[in-house]
Structure 1
């Protein structure tokens, strides 16, 4: 009888307060996790495993969180911790499910909105990140961290005005001036084609331009025109372009597709394909691929390939380096054309000032020499100059209307001097 009584008492104890601990220890995969007493101790143990950075330990943390949720379904702290861990592991769908469950159950849980914003930002959904961070901002209106987080999301989404506004507000709440200056540096435009990646709330943009090139020595002038319709997407844009060249009492038309795409962190690419008539003034076929990568503090590296087909094929290989300092952008590019002997080389430098502190309005100076496609506004003619200089002014008179004025001079390698004038109008909606 004493043995039966002992067995019954033991079973009763297991069914009491110690039962949860026993079930956690016996949960699948938990044999490799050191036992801990109490909810908070186990939660801290799982957090330590999750923040170790070791994939195997993070898997252990996920198993521990799962066992805790079996014992306490819907526990917001555990769901938040597991959601963050899933996000660190790149398991975004599972992370989103956990974190949305927390925000739905506890909409005033600031840490959950912060974690949800991080998840969306890491999974390349910056607009949704900004929406999540907005809840964090509302719950902590006197803290700079939520504003900085939302500003980063707006910057990733291409809304530089909203990003700068949040960074400025964070500065007003006590964020370090050096940090705010560094954050604002990243809101400047990052590519050579204005507005190609920045959405700023617009889905469509239209560009129409006219270029006039006069020559010395009695050579007939050139007149060129182009129209470009660009569609913005969350991670890039695609434009359909029409181009017309009128040279030497002849004319040619061409069509092109020009796309920009955001890639991984601080990287984007430009891909272009152009088609014209055989034997025309513009290339029969032309394509370009250029990759840009931000590095360090304000630096940008690039590599490009241009392929042009006239009567024969010509390829250009280029490398570039750019630097952002305050409202200034400086870029140098070197291009090489393979050929007989060592081929030919060209160099070009651009200095741009965003004089109004936004990403739309700028004054640009450029200069270069050698055989290059970059010296031409179309990227489809081979230009060869001993020296060239240019200046461009871009100004948006309204949020949806702007213009570009340009002038240039080139000492053409063929013995002619060029004087260039250009005008373009911009419309976006």
Structure 2
């Protein structure tokens, strides 16, 4: 897989690289803290307005649907326009939609359709933001420091996830959920300002293309032409769906019926969060040579939480399993980002990232919607064992793809064909934190 590139890309000096890294990290932490509290606040806002669990599901679906629908378009646009402008525009949309949502909640009883519309706008912004942000991050770190940079970023983001959920829960307990939504709107505004100062001078000007559809086809050819890429994305379409059904639907039910209530499930989710921090910390030191092989092997333990819930294990055992799965998903996440950074041409990073996002989340709404009927048909325990079996089967299948087993980390002095050129190392003070951006 690793051959010498014939095309040179301009190098990003260490000072500018470190500055971009710090801005991306700071902005992602700010939005991560706000968003994860706002997700809780949105659910309580629905319930506070007289809605039920079904209404909460409708609002959640309204956010997820445009995320799936517009991801591919967002990726193509992010490779046509300066990525930081796409990010800022998406942040502005998120800021306005959350501010209006907050105002409606604080002013009185919002209608269900209003809440669905505003969360759909927020999901639309995220669909355009995610591919641009991932492409921007990957173009802002050098080959030698990429694995460590991505691990630090993911560690910071997982901390923001945990902190945002805890902060949001505490704020909702003390005040109206509308204020939490207002804080999220302010977080998007601050993050958008920070992202406006990103330096994109190192990114080559885009050649005039044949239009949006042509860009989408070009991204598809890049995606489908790499067996390791499409096979792992296909794998994760099943893995993410199975994990979502097990942990979003069955997990709270098992906790309620078998473990004594929601508190043990909260402990289990906290253990998972601690595991993700531990996994990211591990990857700041460990640079496995066969990145995809190690990452794929670490997907097998993601079946353990479903199996633990099927038994079900006592709370201590469930927490241990969740911690291990958290460590493993971060090992995979850093290995995956490092591989994309090494193998994908810089000018196609956002489009490939969009296909990655789309494939990974496309089946999740269907899986969560079918979780209840499947439980009624075969029983909860069998449904959970089925989730675990699916994860094991598709992960085992991916190991039959030769590139997954053989692709290796390129030496710091070389680069993969068409991939991002090596740059000066990220400055030490920039290594403060860097998968997915918030």
Structure (1 or 2) with the greater helix fraction: 2
TM-score interval, smaller chain: under 0.3
TM-score (norm 2): 0.19
Where relative contact order (Cα < 8 A, 6+ residues apart) is larger, the structure is 2
TM-score (norm 1): 0.20
Considering only CA atoms, is the larger Rg found in Structure 1 or Structure 2? 1
